[in-house]
Chain A
Amino acid sequence: MAKILEKRLIREPDVFYYRLEAPLISRKAKPGQFVIIRLHENGERIPLSLADINPEEGTISLIVMAVGKTTTEMSMMKQGNEILDLCGPLGQPTHIHTVGKVVLVGGGFGVAPLYPIAHAFKDAGNDVVIIMGARSKDLLIYENEFNRVCDRVIITTDDGSRGIKGFVTEALQKELEKGGVDLVLSVGPAIMMQNVSQTTEPFDVKTIVSLNPIMVDGTGMCGGCRVLIGGETRFACVDGPEFDGHQVDWDNLMNRQKKYVNHEKLSFERWKQKHTNMLCE
């Protein structure tokens, strides 16, 4: 059981911030790792990246967009409620070291897990730049947080409502052309991480990506999260989630992510149906 100590809407209408009581996990968790949660007895196990780790107060934070049944159910939980199962920290932490200039790339609400990573790279004495993109300015989150820990925050929006008009990859391209980039690390949707990796490849800059395949146990037992890295089968839950972006078979990852799309749609529809009925009664 993990108590929700704080829950708030961080971006209209569906992105929520959760701070959970997790004394043991917070003591051990490192940037780049994730947890698995299960909300109730009939629930599924879903992996979620850590958006913040606070060992002093014994908490971890998650930022979750309500997109399907489980994340929507989670969004209806209240401060003081308890999540039935919380398991972690899982996966390998980000390899934090002193390299020089680190460029972090994230999109939309998915920038959250980059926050502890930015912090750690900064503490290790690096020059840390973040490029964060969104379709429009209202969809940006965590700008102030990144302003506090990064040397530079570059914002891009598709519609130009804030920062540079265009995609994160265009801003990244400019940074790479300026030179001096030692490491790129990207967290977000697979398609964005693929584009980031393709952008850095001609510059021969090491690029780390955090893969998000479907998982069940998170301990290497089921192999459901298998990914192809340089032609080799690896398990994202124990070998990853971070891998060399230039080695990832992206088509394979994106195909496997779609495996249960129909099941998920059906399950969500049924749940919404039931829920509306309940509300009407």
Chain B
Amino acid sequence: MKTEKNKKKPKIIPRKTPMPEQDPSQRKDNFEEVALGYSLEMALQEAERCLQCKDPKCVDGCPVNVPIPQFIKAIHDGDIQKAIELIQDKNLLPAVCGRVCPQEDQCEKNCLLGKKHEPVSIGRLERFAADWQGTACQLTTPELPSSTGKRVAIVGSGPAGLTCAYDLAKLGHEVTIYEALHEAGGVLFYGIPEFRLPKDIVTCEIALLRRMGVEIVTNAVIGKLISLDELMQDFDACFIATGAGVPTFPGIEGEHLNGIYSANEFLTRTNLMRAYNSPEFDTPVITGKRVAVIGGGNVALDSVRVALRLGAEKAMILYRRSETEMPAREEEIDHARQEGVRFEFLINPVRLIGSNGWVEKIECIRMELGECDESGRKSVCEIAGTQFQIPVDVVIMALGTEANQLLLKSSGDIALNKRGYIVIDEATGRTSRKWVYAGGDIVTGSATVISAMGAGRTAAKAIHNDLLEFMKE
């Protein structure tokens, strides 16, 4: 490292360079992006904060091992093109990851600077580099080796499938992705709202894959249109990345009333089908003045903020534990609060009450926290006799998902765990069936975009190695 060439560093700025954001009073009424991105000046200032550690711990925290100090150095030197090339070598979706990765739990958590001050804002710098040329549509297509003649099928076009496809294509394999919906991108498209991840970015990053020769077949439900056995006749290997699956309902009285959504449905209607633009777009969504979202994860936060933008005057999060236990990212909680979302902690719904078939009230009970269980999570129990009712027009259940058995039902020879998720060898993504690999939420249950990408990368590496081994034999 040529640090000796740098001038003597000024005193370290203890705090991250703030991210410019759309004003909360404005953004709560639109679907435009909340965080606006660093200017070159801001990025240079933030890059300056990086200590350029010899043994960078941040990289260990990144599931796809982006060379973090190196790309920050490139930004610092003003060579943004080099920065994006360094990131892109490890990460197909830098514009996505720079926006939705929980950096505070990964790279930034390990940042040495963070021991004393705020860590370097690696995520914001990644986003800056990714957005520098405009969009991923302008990214150069990586050079590809000559074809190995080996064909790999990927089931699902979410972050795990896309990453696996990218890595395999770069190694010269022929890749076909099958997507059940009419649009590729999986959760990046149907799940994460426009104001957190503009769909144009996803579309551009996928276009890059197409330019690399990856074929993407939409409207193809594997297990229905084509069975896994048939896929295995046409391809040398298959990677299953079908995602999180079926939504959970609490199983309480009244949950079938109109006005009650799963977060999956509410978000799919607004994001994928663009119901926020109804009637310009044909798919409708029920909007309400009073919206309650049940749950405390990122999906709950996305739902409540969408509801707000659809015109809710009172948008609430109802969570059964306290704020400390909320799984959602702190940044998202802050954003939601600034926009006027109300948080009600330590309450749980017990019943939904309606009239004429529509939900009108939600009956809740107060909860209290107990001791930590084996997983380290605090137990929670109801306080008898504390029921009360909240008037509502729309209720959204963001209680997580279970494994979708659609594909797995028709391919009985793949070992599943007792929750119905695919059992894999973690180091390779191999399933119990030869030449079939899996990764992402269909293995782990609901997790993050970046961990799914990490799984896609792991499987791609193993598929490549296994194919090479096989070709030698």
Which residues does A use to contact B, with CB under 8 Å?
24-25, 28, 38, 42-45, 69-70, 84-90, 216-224, 226, 228, 233, 235, 238, 249, 252, 255-256, 258-260, 263-264, 266-267, 270
Q: Which of A70, A87, A235 contacts B246 (CB 8 A)?
A: A235
Residue of A nearest to B221 (CB): A219
* A-B CB contact pairs (8 Å), 20 listed: A24-B226, A28-B224, A42-B280, A42-B282, A44-B273, A87-B180, A87-B220, A217-B181, A217-B268, A219-B221, A221-B246, A221-B247, A221-B404, A222-B265, A224-B261, A224-B262, A233-B251, A256-B258, A263-B279, A267-B282
Q: Which of A24, A223, A252, A258 contacts B264 (CB 8 A)?
A: A223
Residue of A nearest to B256 (CB): A252
Known: A217-B180, A218-B221. 15 other contacts (CB 8 A): A25-B225, A28-B224, A28-B225, A43-B282, A44-B273, A87-B219, A216-B268, A216-B273, A220-B246, A222-B247, A233-B251, A238-B405, A266-B279, A267-B284, A270-B279
Task: Please determine whether B262 and A222 come into contact, CB atoms closer than 8 angstroms.
Answer: yes
Q: How far is the CA of A255 from the CA of B224 in the complex (A)?
A: 30
Q: Which A residues are in CB contact (< 8 Å) with B182? A: 38, 45, 84-85, 87
Task: Please determine whether A216 and B282 come into contact, CB atoms closer than 8 angstroms.
Answer: no
Give chain B interface residues in 62-85, CB to chain A under 8 Å.
Answer: none
Task: Please determine whether A220 and B404 come into contact, CB atoms closer than 8 angstroms.
Answer: yes
Q: How far is the CA of A264 from the CA of B278 in the complex (A)?
A: 11
**Which are the 3 A-B pairs with shortest beta-carbon distances?**
A263-B284, A222-B265, A44-B282
Q: Which of B221, B279, B282 contacts A70 (CB 8 A)?
A: B282
Q: Which B residues are in CB contact (< 8 Å) with A38? A: 182
> Is B13 positioned at the interface, with any CB of A under 8 Å from its CB?
no
> Is B432 positioned at the interface, with any CB of A under 8 Å from its CB?
no
> Is B329 positioned at the interface, with any CB of A under 8 Å from its CB?
no
Q: How far is the CA of A85 from the CA of B268 in the complex (A)?
A: 17
Residue of B nearest to A42 (CB): B281
Q: Which A residues are in CB contact (< 8 Å) with B264? A: 221-223
Give chain B interface residues in 213-262, CB to chain A under 8 Å.
Answer: 218-221, 224-226, 245-247, 249, 251, 255-258, 261-262
Q: How far is the CA of A235 from the CA of B404 in the complex (A)?
A: 12
Q: How far is the CA of A224 from the CA of B258 in the complex (A)?
A: 10
Which residues does B use to contact A, with CB under 8 Å?
180-182, 190, 218-221, 224-226, 245-247, 249, 251, 255-258, 261-262, 264-265, 268-269, 273-274, 278-284, 286, 357, 404-406
Q: Which B residues are in CB contact (< 8 Å) with A87? A: 180-182, 219-221
Task: Please determine whether A228 and B278 come into contact, CB atoms closer than 8 angstroms.
Answer: no
Q: How far is the CA of A42 from the CA of B264 in the complex (A)?
A: 20
Q: Which of B219, B226, B245, B283 contacts A220 (CB 8 A)?
A: B245
Residue from A84, A85, A219 having most chain B Cβ neighbours under 10 A: A219
Residue of B nearest to A36 (CB): B219
Q: Which A residues are in CB contact (< 8 Å) with B265? A: 216, 222-224
Task: Please determine whether A221 and B219 come into contact, CB atoms closer than 8 angstroms.
Answer: no
Task: Please determine whether B224 and A45 come into contact, CB atoms closer than 8 angstroms.
Answer: no
Q: Which A residues are in CB contact (< 8 Å) with B283? A: 44-45, 216
Q: Which of A45, A85, A223, A270 contacts B218 (CB 8 A)?
A: A85
Q: How far is the CA of A263 from the CA of B278 in the complex (A)?
A: 9
Task: Please determine whether A223 and B249 come into contact, CB atoms closer than 8 angstroms.
Answer: yes
Q: How far is the CA of A226 from the CA of B264 in the complex (A)?
A: 13
Q: Which A residues are in CB contact (< 8 Å) with B249? A: 223, 226, 233
Minimum Cβ distance to chain A for residue B128 (Å): 32
Residue from B219, B246, B247, B249 having most chain A Cβ neighbours under 10 A: B219
Q: How far is the CA of A42 from the CA of B283 in the complex (A)?
A: 8
Q: A38-B182, A219-B406 are in contact. Are A228 and B256 (CB under 8 A)?
A: yes
